[in-house]
Every structure is written in structure tokens, then in C-alpha cells.
Homo-oligomer: A and B are copies of this chain.
């Protein structure tokens, strides 16, 4: 069975996955990259950049689950580009010529456009569809593999609310952001649908893994 998975989804103690004031040079707003420093220190991340080194403990192991067995990604419009990208018909995303996905990527937007084929196996498709329908499309494209739900927070929240997420890896960073977009809003009793494991690591973060109970 093809699962829907969330990985390396980092939030503050107060539950914000994105800060306030998102802009082209600040995709996470005033949060900057502070929610992801734990990941930058891992071998997983070093390798993504073609380098070596980096930590090889639990932070690395959990982060490295990100790509294995993934055949497609679903992401929100805000992950594809900064506010207003829809007004630029030639825009090709904030991820460079060779985006780090290497699979079909379904971008949720109310203003779809023709698909864009990038280098390295990534093709962006644009979809104006509710969660279940978007997942169906992504599953077809994934060819039997799993689908990654790439965020941002409001997209993850929407799929959680509809009970579509099979596995979720949330990383809680010990900081209080105060402003931005929260993950948990509107998800009362979410724990009833998941087995939840918490593990703190020496870097100071706490990994929360959610495994959907048999439905």
C-alpha cells in the first residue's frame, strides 16, 4: 500500500512551522532557518549538498528517511515559491534548475498552469484539488511508491484533518516563535488516530513520530 508521509517537519515549542513575514529571501519569515539547524548538522543534509561529514546519530537517521521509497511529493503553493509567484507566468520555482525532489511534484494552487519539467527527474504539476483528489493524482504518479507531503503547515493540517496521513515525523525545536503559521490548529484529538513516539536527542530537539493506527 502506498503511504502518505511527512518528514523532517520542524516546529517551534509553540507549534509554528513557518514564521511571520514570508518573502523571497525569507521563506520561513522571521523564523529564518532556526527551525532547521538540527538537520543542517546531519550527514543526511551534508550529502544532499554533495559533501561529507555531519552527525550520524538519531537526528541523521530520522532525517534520512525523507527520500526512501518516495515516488511523488505534494506541496503547497508557498513551498513552490514566495507570495505572488502566480503572477509570473515564467516562474519555475524556488528550487533551482535541479530541484532536490527527483520525482513528480504536485503543487497545490488555485491558479494551475502547465507542468514544468526540470533537471534531475523533478516535474512540477499544478493542481487545484482537495486533499483526497490531490493524493489520488500523486499516488498514480508515484507508481506504487509512497507519496511525501512536503508542507507547509496549512497543507499538512488539511491532510491530517481528512485522515489521509499514514506517517508523520515532526521535530520540535526548543524556541518560541510567537508568530507565523501553526501546525496543530483545528486538530483536536489527533492522537486518537496515531501511535506517537517521542525521542529527544543531544542536539536539543525532540522527534515526534506519528504512525497511523489501523483504519
Contacts and interface: CB of A to CB of B under 8 A. Distances in A.
A85 interface: no
A200 B209 CA distance: 13
B178 A187 contact: yes
Nearest to A189: B176
Contacts of A178: 184, 186-189
Q: Could you say which interface size class chain A belongs to?
A: 20 to 34
Interface of A: 13-15, 172, 174-179, 182, 184-191, 196-200, 204-206, 208
Given A178-B186, A200-B206, 16 more contacts: A13-B15, A13-B191, A13-B208, A14-B187, A172-B198, A172-B206, A174-B191, A174-B196, A174-B208, A178-B184, A178-B187, A179-B188, A197-B204, A198-B200, A198-B204, A198-B206
25 contacts: A13-B191, A14-B15, A14-B184, A14-B187, A15-B184, A172-B172, A172-B198, A172-B206, A174-B196, A174-B198, A176-B187, A176-B189, A176-B190, A176-B191, A178-B184, A178-B186, A178-B187, A178-B188, A178-B189, A198-B204, A198-B206, A199-B200, A200-B200, A200-B206, A206-B206
